[in-house]
Amino acid sequence: MDSESFNHEQLAGQRLMVGFDGTDMNPDLKFLIDILKVGGIILFSRIISNPDQIKQLCASAQGYAFSCGQPPLFIAIDQEGGQVARLKEPFTQFPGNPAMKGEADAVNFARVTARELIEIGLNMNMAPVLDVALDEGQSIVASRAFGSDPQWVSKLGTKVIEQLQQKGIMSVAKHFPGIGRTTLDSHIEMPTLDVDPNTLESSDLLPFKAAIQHNVAGIMLSHILYRQLDPEWPASLSTRIARDMLRSRLGFRGIVMTDDLDMGAIEIRYDIKTIIKQILSADIDVALICHRSQKIENAFEKILDTISRSPETKKTAVASAGRILKMKGKYLDDLKGN
């Protein structure tokens, strides 16, 4: 299967990673996979009861995707350790990035986490956090970041990336180009940063550059407005940041995705048609919508309509689907036919 052979519906669906309701393979999840042809699903605590249940759910979802002639699914989770860990006991609980004392801690976290995720059928971890918490007392991400030294963040972050991916779990570094300077929570409102690009270059961007050099599978964009990079659009909707900076200048060839489009920073400002228009213009591969709502269908329809009307958008959609399929081929090839 290659992206050139995809129909318009597949080109649209592969751009979506979505949340859903229910703890088993239900008609709505089948609808998301078969009719909307979503490229991935993301799991949250609300649908998790025990390891066997998650393992059966993941296996059923992958099996159903195969029966529908679809590529394997990205099945993702936020398992950073510390305060952001969707899997609770009996899964191993780690104190989080700020508690790591060195590379050995990073390696141990990643190896154990990868093994436990693989065992239950997951293949992508929305980790590590590569934000540099420059003001540890005020930074919104201080309790999730490795620290305030860009070199230290790079060192531990790349160890996590290496070990997760060596064990078969795709790593998604976040939140590009860095939220460590913000104090406002983008789950509620959109933070604004007025920081000189040279300052970002010498600090906030260093861990992401290191992640790219270590072939990180994915990078998640933040919902922050960086006035001196793009005065109009937050990073998650910005052509200047996603396409021009991350892809063209930094040379990232992996999967670029938004943060959750249900977060307040985005939801209270933009309708889904505007959001999707920007995502397609910015060459962003995956729109992340973490709660089950009509927004998912609307996003699919907007992508589909734009691809159908615009040959140029279809061309970029084929390229995006190609990147997605390449990553799935690298990590999920053994799922074909299972």
Query: Does 273 map to a domain?
Result: yes
Query: Does 41 map to a domain?
Result: no
pLDDT digits over 79-89, tens only? 999 999 999 99
Residue 135 confidence (pLDDT): 65
pLDDT digits over 119-159, tens only? 999 999 999 999 999 865 688 899 999 999 999 999 999 99
pLDDT digits over 183-204, tens only? 776 776 778 899 999 999 999 9
Catalytic residue (one of 8, 34, 187, 291): 187
Query: Does 148 map to a domain?
Result: yes
Among residues 235, 200, 204, the alpha carbon closest in space to that of 220 is found at 235
Asked if residue 162 has pLDDT above 50, the reply is yes
pLDDT digits over 308-326, tens only? 999 999 999 999 999 999 9
The two structure tokens encoding residue 28: 């709505």
Asked if residue 58 has pLDDT above 60, the reply is yes
Query: Does 58 map to a domain?
Result: no
Residue 9 confidence (pLDDT): 97
The two structure tokens encoding residue 246: 């991350």
**Percent of the chain scored above 90 by pLDDT?**
90
Query: Does 13 map to a domain?
Result: no
DSSP string, 4-44: GG--HHHHHHTTEEE----SS--HHHHHHHHTS--SEEEE-
Query: What is the residue type of 115?
Result: R
Model confidence, pTM: 0.96
Catalytic residue (one of 105, 131, 259, 260): 259
Q: Which domain holds residue 88?
A: 81-286+293-331
pLDDT digits over 239-294, tens only? 999 999 999 999 999 999 999 999 988 988 999 999 999 999 999 999 999 999 99
The total domain count for the chain is: 1
Query: Does 56 map to a domain?
Result: no
pLDDT digits over 292-303, tens only? 999 999 999 999
Among this protein's residues, is 175 annotated catalytic?
no
Q: Mean pLDDT, the chain, as a whole number?
A: 94
Q: What is the CATH number of the domain that holds 177?
A: 3.20.20.300
Distances (CA, A) of 99 to 18, 67, 208, 318: 31, 44, 21, 42
Among this protein's residues, is 187 annotated catalytic?
yes
Query: Does 31 map to a domain?
Result: no
Query: Does 10 map to a domain?
Result: no
